[in-house]
Structure 1
Amino acid sequence: MSYVNMKSILTDARKNRYAVGAFNIVNYLTAKAAVEGAEELNQNIILQTSVKTVKAFGVIEMMSWLKPIVEEAKVKVAIHLDHSTDVAFTKTCIDAGWSSVMYDGSKLPLLENIANTKEIVAYAQKFDVTVEGELGAIVGVEDDIYVKEGEGAHARLEDCKVFLSETKVDAFAPAIGTAHGVYKGEINLDYDLFETINSNSPCPLVLHGGTGLTDGMFYRLIDLGAAKVNISTAVKIAYCQGMKDYMEQNPKQNNPLKLDAYVKEQVKKMVQEHIRFFSLSDRKRPNYEVDLHCHTTRSDGSDTPKELIDKASSLGMCVIAMTDHDVLPADKIEVNGIMVDMTAYAKTKGVKVLPGIEFSCETQAEDVHLVVLGCDYSDDKIREMNKKIVESKIHTYRELTEVLTKKGFPITWDEVLNYGGIPRKSEDVQKKIIFNLMAEKGYVETWSDGKLLCRNNPEYSVKRQKPKAVDIIKLAHETGGICILAHPYLIDETIKIDEKKISRDEFIESLIEAGLDGIEASYTYDKTTYHGKLTKNEIIEKIKEMYTDKVAIISGGSDYHADYKKTSKNIREVGECGISYDYFKNNACLSAIAK
């Protein structure tokens, strides 16, 4: 049977973590366009009718032409009454054949809202009709419901628990910061609230005010449990703009059927774009939802902190760590010319950002890097360590450019400071910038070739004084953070520590004894200087096997640098390597620093 209530449609969506589009149709043409669009994609759909639209046609009259469209459909379709504030009118629509209704008592006191909703649920169950409820105040205009800017109110978790327990609604729409109509400013959504409500809700959640949200916002909310997404304004825009466009293109045309056909196609196209998106059929998913190893322009990355956050949001990432090399993380970042709090900005994009540092350690060894997260970066101890590192870096990297120039590979310090057209302070320079310049000037093929040339050839080798790894572990713990060994298999099998040669495995064991919290298993070895025999996946499994019982965290990260802006080779993407969000949430150390 094609004509159904919302239960089977939304139950499957919630179970399989996608969303179903609920489109507010305004007439026969938009209803037909929406259903045909869904049929062509073989996706279920919900047709919504506003109270104003129903009253304009008449309850019986509207159902007389709407129901046949649905009953002949090749996919499941629900007809849903949207935002009804009148108990009697809601029952009238149930009597007339609506398969689903929404009673909106969100502007009433909680107990009155509950009482009215319970009455609707009891009545609807007699006819196998599903009921949607709402709590909180969603800004904007929806029929005769008007909530002014600044008067919107998020749903309260405790109220939601009581409402859901008492009413037994089939779908629930909590207010979390979305708005009806076209958004007029910055969109600030409370993703944490939505996630918590979903974990406490026995029924699927509904997202109102979907028109105007970014791809990243939709992805994040669907990941967090949105099973139904309401689209109203976009339908009206497609319908009206279609008429305007057709008449502008055909000013002498007076054939209403041709006009209708054109407008119908525009509405169908819009509906299909949303259906594809909500069903996630075209979604470019990252391999992992959490990436604990990323870089920005604050060290040797090519994305600004804002660009990295925006990119992570567009991919539906849950958590990223900004771990720029040997520099203190920024509290504020530039967004549209204004300095704003970094973690607060990321939250508006649905992404949790963990500020961190990737420390280069051990003067006599290469690629011994420790990622620290969750520290108090204002602590004098970590600031003093950073000061020493910066002084050593500036001296050594200037010396490296001088050595390369003498050897026939001219690179000036000014080129380094302004690499990529981004002016930077001397303390923000990273060695990879020099390697990038070597590749771009044609001295070597790739940046990693430049790294190997300087690393393996004594003539080009300029070593800076680096802190001992055990000291960084101690520092992280003293400042309230955790410490993770990055890319362990980039470390040579035999290294020199304090003039003594030891194996890589022995070195890692010594770090564990010193209190190392985690080891990075998932890493982009296939796109770096690694030339060992093991594959990336074999390394992951080996690290898990060897160290799962020895450290608290088996970590992962892409070592993202926005390489695509500089080269077409060995490009690393955000989330290409990392860990699952479930692992992140359930790991005691990681969840503690995320609070």
Structure 2
Amino acid sequence: MAVVSLQDTLAHSLSARYGVPAFNILNDLTIEAVLAAAVQERSPVILQTSVKTVRQYGSEQLYDIFRTLVRGVDVPVTLHLDHCPYRDVISDCLRRGWNSVLFDAHELDVEENVRQTTEVVAEARATGAHVEGEIEGIQGVEDGVGSDDKPESMSLEVATDFIQRTGVQCFAPAIGNAHGQYTSAPVLDHQRVSDLVEATGVPMALHGGTGLSTAQFQDLIARGCAKVNISTALKETFMKSGLSFLTETEKRGTWDPPSLFAAQKQAVVDMAVQHMRDFRSSGQAW
């Protein structure tokens, strides 16, 4: 199966009421680990790249790494550009082959957001790609994008109008969720997800997934969060597993880089597998 569109991926997960895990990958090792977990679990998966990661590698090199590592993978995979407010970066990634982008224009007023998002949807459609949209920021800073300020909440009518006028294939609502680690248990507006899905039929994207309980995940997924973002958990797993391995390595005095890479990869695989099982995406590959 390999690379499939965001629309196909989310239509399947919304219908069957499971969540497709969307992991923010960092490098070739984390791509390999997430894909290995997806193959093991027979789960669809979304590989997300931040603007920071795109700029670190360059879009051409990063896309080439993705294409090389996804070759031979037999579960549905979507390549998504996460939280991008920059039209030039979106255009570059769409030209390279990304088949999904989040145009993050929440800092614009709603009418200008609608105008520009509609343009991005048309641009993406010309390349066979799809668009996730948002009108409210998700609290917290992720890879240099975002703010710790509480976002302004828009009415159901404004959000529904945005979805219908722009033609986005996925929408990221602010429901009390936040990027990064929660400092206290979040109070989430679960009903808003149900209301938006009922009003539009469009799948929702849950941001700020790291730190939510399995029960919270599964309730939101049942209501229509067909895409569930995981970024902080991957970063922390990758770095903490490396720290733990290097601490033990220093004690032993045996320095073997491939062993470090293997330990980090396995830690990310285990983390991804657990999320796939929590989101009930295991066994949903088609």
| TM above 0.5 | yes
Counterpart of 2:191? 192
One-letter amino acid of the structure 2 residue matched with residue 62 of structure 1: L
Aligned twin of 1:402? none
User: Which residue of structure 2 aligns with residue 253 of structure 1?
Assistant: 254
Q: Given that residues 137 and 155 in structure 1 are in contact (C-alpha distance below 8 angstroms), is that contact kept between their aligned partners in structure 2?
A: no
Moved beyond 6 Å, runs of 4+: none
Tell me the residue number matched to 1:106: 106
Distance in structure 1 (CA, Å) of the matches to 2:265 and 2:160:
42
Deviations 1:254-305 (A, max 9, x none): 11111001100000100010011111669xxxxxxxxxxxxxxxxxxxxxxx
Q: Secondary structure at the match of 2:172?
A: strand
**Does the CA contact (< 8 Å) of 2:137 and 2:146 recur in 1?**
no
Q: Is the 1:138–1:153 contact (alpha carbons within 8 Å) kept by the matching residues of 2?
A: no
Q: Does 1:218 align with 2:217?
A: yes
The 5 A counterparts of 1:322-471 are none
2:23 equivalent in structure 1: 23
Aligned to 2:75: 75
1:234 is paired with a residue whose SS is helix
In structure 2, give the amino acid aligned to 1:42: R
Secondary structure at 2:111 match in 1: helix
Look up the match of 1:518: none
- Is 1:36 aligned with 2:44? no
| Whole-Å separation in 2 of the counterparts to 1:280 and 1:101 | 22
- 1:2 and 2:2 aligned: yes
> What is the deviation of 1:155?
3.7
Tell me the CA shift for residue 63 of structure 1.
0.8
The separation in 2 between residues aligned to 1:66 and 1:241, in whole angstroms, is: 24
Is the CA contact 2:41–2:282 (under 8 Å) kept in the aligned structure 1? no
Task: Report the TM-score when normalising by structure 2.
Answer: 0.95
**What is the one-letter code of the residue matched to 2:106?**
S
> Matched residue of 2:279: which SS?
helix
Cα gap change, 1:230 to 1:52, in 2 (>3 Å)? same
Q: Is the 8 A contact 1:136 1:156 kept in 2?
A: no
1:238 aligned onto 2:237: yes
Q: Aligned pair count?
A: 281
Partner Cα separation in structure 1 for residue 67 and residue 282 of structure 2: 28
Q: Is the 8 A contact 2:43 2:281 kept in 1?
A: no
2:157 — aligned with what? 158
Q: What SS is found at the alignment partner of 1:22?
A: strand
Which amino acid is 2:29 matched to?
L
What corresponds to 1:173 in structure 2? Answer: 172
Please give the per-residue CA displacement for 1:198-220, whole angstroms capped at 9, x wherever unaligned.
11123211000000011221111
Distance 1:221 1:93 in 2: 30
TM-score by length of 1: 0.46
Question: 1:397-456 deviations in whole A, cap 9, x for unaligned?
Answer: xxxxxxxxxxxxxxxxxxxxxxxxxxxxxxxxxxxxxxxxxxxxxxxxxxxxxxxxxxxx
| Structure 1 partner of 2:274 | 273
Q: 2:133·2:170 contact (CA, 8 Å) conserved in 1?
A: yes
Q: Cα–Cα, structure 1 residues 156 and 76, in superposed 2: closer, same or farther, change >3 Å? A: same
Q: Distance in 2 between matches of 1:22 and 1:135?
A: 20
What is the rounded CA distance, in whole Å, between the counterparts of 1:71 and 1:90 in structure 2? 24
Q: How far 1:3 sits from its partner (Å)?
A: 1.0
AA paired with 1:275? M
Q: Is the 8 A contact 2:42 2:282 kept in 1?
A: no
Residue 84 of structure 2 is aligned to residue 60 of structure 1: no
1:117–1:167 contact (8 Å) kept in structure 2: yes
Equivalent residue, structure 2, for 1:119: 119
Residue type of the alignment partner of 1:61: Q
SS in 2 for 1:79: strand
1:13 equivalent in structure 2? 13
The runs of 5 or more residues in structure 1 that have no matched partner are 283-595
What is aligned with 1:134?
134
Measure how far apart 1:74 and its partner are: 1.4
Report the residue type matching 1:217 in the other structure.
Answer: Q
- C-alpha deviations, 1:102-142, integer Å up to 9, x for none? 10111210011111111111011111101110121211002
Q: Percent identity among equivalent residues?
A: 37
Change (3 A) 1:214 1:121: same
> How far apart in 2 are the matches of 1:62 and 1:275?
25
Cα separation, partners in 2 of 1:194 and 1:155, compared to 1, 3 Å: farther
Ranked by relative contact order (alpha carbons within 8 Å, sequence separation 6 or more), the top structure is 2
Instruction: Confirm or deny: 8 A CA contact 1:247 1:253 kept in the other structure.
Output: no
Whether contact under 8 Å (1:154, 1:174) holds in the other structure is no
Matches of 2:265 and 2:190, distance apart in 1: 35
Secondary structure of 1:178's counterpart equals coil
* Cross-structure match for 1:262: 263
* Partner AA of 1:266 in structure 2: A
The one-letter amino acid paired with 1:49 is: T
Instruction: Find the aligned partners of 1:261 and 1:162 in 2 and give their Cα distance.
Output: 48
Deviations 1:151-204 (A, max 9, x none): 223342111111111110111111111000011123111112221111112321
CA distance in 2, matches of 1:281, 1:41: 5
Tell me how far apart the structure 1 counterparts of residues 175 and 108 of structure 2 sit (CA, whole Å).
18
* Structure 1 CA distance for aligned equivalents of residues 76 and 110 of structure 2: 34
Please give the alpha-carbon distance, in whole angstroms, between the structure 2 residues aligned to 1:198 and 1:155.
16
